[in-house]
Amino acid sequence: MRYDAPIAAVGNTPLVRLPRLSPSADVRIWAKLEDRNPTGSVKDRPALHMVEQAEKDGRLTPGCTILEPTSGNTGISLAMAARLKGYRMVCVMPENTSQERRDLLGMWGAEIVPSPAAGGSNTAVRVAKELAERNPDWVMLYQYGNPDNAGAHYATTGPEILADLPSVTHFVAGLGTTGTLMGVGRYLREKKPDVKIVAAEPRYDDLVYGLRNLDEGFVPELYDASVLTTRYSVGSADAVTRTRELLRQEGIFAGVSTGAALHAALGVGKKAVAASESADIVFVVADGGWKYLSTGVYTAATTEEAIETLQGQLWA
Amino acid sequence: MAIEVRIPTILRTYTGGAKAVEGSGSTLAELFTDLDTRHAGIRDRIVDADKGDQLRRFVNVYLNDEDVRFLDGIETKVGDGDSITILPAVAGGALEKRMA
């Protein structure tokens, strides 16, 4: 495939069947490889779309400063788009985020404003909103409430999946900003009313609950429960186990939140097998494992040790 | 018929500190009634007698990791080999409220 510029190469990612992890010949699991985007994550889609829509309606003009609360991927995508398009980029990020993410953001020229670790992304959102008030000329694209976030997936990810796999029965993705689930969910439901939209939500152990406390009550403005068919809550141990299975059995090197999505995909797959139904289950590989290598979950000798290394850490 | 039930820290006073216990029943309602025969008082912390024995608002229950509010709630069918996880909805469960 040929593109006129690197930034034009966002999307059109491969959809691959997982022959070893699919539960049966009739119940098939498919991975949408969003790590194949220019900066290595699914967030290139909403980031670019939000920037281009803001340019179109005149909110973003040459020389503008873009501000965004982000724990990583969206910031990295926006920073890349900002550099190529000539904007200044400021990210508000929890102070306990990994060094890799800081380096990646810095590499693309973003400035980082740290927010307190307690409260995670919820606190980052609050700090960003305060910064936006003090700097009225800065443009906050605000992925949690920007309809163009879900709009990117409605316009691209959804149609790509349906074109590649008209028999799709389930779509599974992580529940963060909810943009992927809302956008793909709405598109697929319009074309195939019976399609099941499944959210995979991270579940942390007791140790992390203190850290997460403030995060729990946060509901992104984009969220619309009616789009979802069901919701899975996936613990750290299952997320790590699936991440390693995906690597070992199918050769796909993905981030830990992808393991959580795979766990939910296998959960709905198991139910389809039990009900003697056939199914084509698509789940999203949101990013590769590179940014999480330092956690040790890939290199630990056993899955038990890998689970141990992730104890008490946020992974999605 | 054994169903594994994972107990959150806050309810472990009823299970002698055990993180997981076993129970039986063909629905969640039956399972929680069965649990209460060995762990007296636990059922009342999970279901709300004033709301027709529905799940308490700030309690989340998962069947094999799937949120039972998207299944049949307290009447969700369970069986041998299933795993139930009970979790408190921290900070008021705003998400649950919207999802209900």
List CB contacts (< 8 A) between A209 and chain B: 90
pLDDT of A110 reads 95
Known binding-site residues of A equal 73, 176-180, 257
List CB contacts (< 8 A) between B94 and chain A: 216-219
Distance CA B6, CA B86 (A): 6
Residue B1 pLDDT more than 70? no
Which band of pLDDT confidence, cut at 50, 70 and 90, is reported for residue A78? very high
pLDDT of A217 reads 59
pLDDT of A216 reads 52
**Is A65 in the B-facing interface, judged by CB distances under 8 Å?**
no
Quick one: tokens of B41?
């008082």
pLDDT tens, residue by residue, B43-77: 999 999 898 899 998 899 999 999 999 999 999 99
Q: Where are the domains of chain A?
A: 6-36+157-310, 44-140
Inter-residue contact A120 to A144 (CB < 8 Å)? no
- Which residues 232-291 of chain A have a CB within 8 Å of chain B? 232-235, 238, 263-264, 267, 270
Residue A285 falls in which region: left (phi positive, over 0), alpha (psi -120 to 50) or beta: beta
pLDDT of A166 reads 98
Segment holding B16, helix H or strand E: none
pLDDT tens, residue by residue, A185-215: 999 999 999 999 999 998 876 555 444 443 4
pLDDT of A70 reads 85
Domain B3-99: homologous superfamily in CATH? Beta-grasp domain (3.10.20.30)
pLDDT of A311 reads 77
pLDDT of A68 reads 94
CA distance B57 to chain A (A): 14
List CB contacts (< 8 A) between A274 and chain B: none
pLDDT of B93 reads 36
Distances from the Cα of A207 to the Cα of A154, B44, B94, angstroms: 37, 26, 21
**Is B72 in the A-facing interface, judged by CB distances under 8 Å?**
no
Distances from the Cα of B74 to the Cα of A164, B22, B64, angstroms: 39, 18, 15
Quick check: B66 and A238 CB within 8 A? no
Q: Where are the domains of chain B?
A: 3-99
How many CA atoms within 13 Å lie on the side-chain side of A222? 24
Residue B95 pLDDT more than 80? no
Return the CATH fold of A44-140. Answer: Rossmann fold (3.40.50)
Greater confidence, A215 or A10? Answer: A10
pLDDT of B72 reads 96
pLDDT tens, residue by residue, A274-314: 999 999 999 999 999 998 898 899 999 999 999 988 876 77
CA distance B34 to chain A (A): 25
Quick one: tokens of A176?
């963060």
**Which residues of A are the active-site residues?**
43, 257
pLDDT of A205 reads 64
Known binding-site residues of A for pyridoxal 5'-phosphate equal 73, 176-180, 257
Q: What is the mean pLDDT of residues A117-123?
A: 79
Residue B96 pLDDT more than 50? no
Helix axes A73-85, A99-107, angle to 10 degrees: 10
Distance CA A103, CA A110 (A): 10
Q: Comparing A6-36+157-310 with A44-140, is the CATH topology the same?
A: yes
List CB contacts (< 8 A) between B62 and chain A: 232-233
Give every strand in the sheet of A88-94, ordered side by side.
A111-115, A88-94, A65-69, A139-140
Greater confidence, A295 or A47? Answer: A47
Q: What is the ipTM of this complex?
A: 0.84
Q: Residue A115: what residue type?
A: S
**Total residue length of chain B:** 100
Inter-residue contact A310 to A300 (CB < 8 Å)? no
Choose the CATH number for A6-36+157-310 among 3.40.50.150, 3.40.50.1100, 3.90.230.10, 3.40.1110.10: 3.40.50.1100
In B16-80, alpha helices (H): 28-38, 42-46
pLDDT tens, residue by residue, A140-199: 999 999 999 999 999 999 999 999 999 999 999 999 899 999 999 999 999 999 999 999
Tell how strand A139-140 and strand A65-69 pair up. parallel
Percent of chain B scoring above 70 in pLDDT: 88
Q: B7: which strand partners?
A: none
Mean pLDDT (chain B, rounded): 88
Long-range contacts of A62-65 (CB under 8 A, 24+ apart): A62/A86, A63/A87, A63/A88, A64/A88, A64/A137, A64/A138, A64/A139, A65/A89, A65/A90, A65/A135, A65/A137, A65/A138, A65/A139
Mutation site, B58, B59, B66, interface A, largest A CB count within 10 A: B66
Greater confidence, A246 or A69? Answer: A246
Q: A202: which strand partners?
A: A234
Percent of chain A scoring above 70 in pLDDT: 95
pLDDT of A151 reads 98
